[in-house]
Amino acid sequence: MVIEKRDILNRRDIDILMEEFYRCAFADKTIGYIFTDVAKMDLSEHLPIIGDFWEGVIFGTRKYVARGRNPMVIHRELAMKEPLREAHFERWLELFCGAVDGLFEGPNAENLKWRAAQISERMIANICRAIHFT
């Protein structure tokens, strides 16, 4: 049976995507420990926040901005606990795009992957290279 994919249309779709991405990321041998052991991420707390972030990216909502959080600052602080390397962000992007491709297709899905690639490159430039974690 072939399941037809559709585009990301709303916040529920983003939530489904984030649940799938973090399921894969937590289990990943390259970056899983960063989420579980270093960041000690509580998904019940994190999923609404990261959902707000990606909803803003794709649909222009301002919920994440209203939280007053800065992803670069958060990741720099994390890098002080554990060096974040280019390979970590490359793997993050691979898993993220894999989750998108596994669930969705269409203009919003493509835009989300493109934006994720931009974010990954910014993190590499401003954290890995700036702090010399190559």
- The whole-angstrom distance between residue 47's C-alpha and the CA centroid of its chain comes to 11
For residue 104, give the 3-state DSSP assignment: strand
Compute the distance between CA of residue 105 and CA of residue 7 in angstroms, rounded to an integer.
Answer: 5
| pTM exceeding 0.75 | yes
More confident residue, 68 or 8: 8
C-alpha torsion 9→10→11→14, nearest 10: 0
Compute the distance between CA of residue 105 and CA of residue 102 in angstroms, rounded to an integer.
Answer: 9
Which one, of 26, 25, 30, 41, lies nearest residue 116 by Cα? 25
- Tell me the mean pLDDT in the region 103-132: 92
Residue 112 neighbours by CB under 8 Å, 6+ apart:
8, 17, 54, 57, 58, 100
Residue 25, pLDDT score: 98
- Tell me the mean pLDDT in the region 40-44: 95
Residue 1, pLDDT score: 62
**Using one digit for the tens of pLDDT, what is the confidence trace for 57-88?**
999 999 988 888 898 899 999 999 999 999 99
Residue 43 has pLDDT above 80, yes or no: yes
The mean predicted confidence, pLDDT, of the chain is: 93
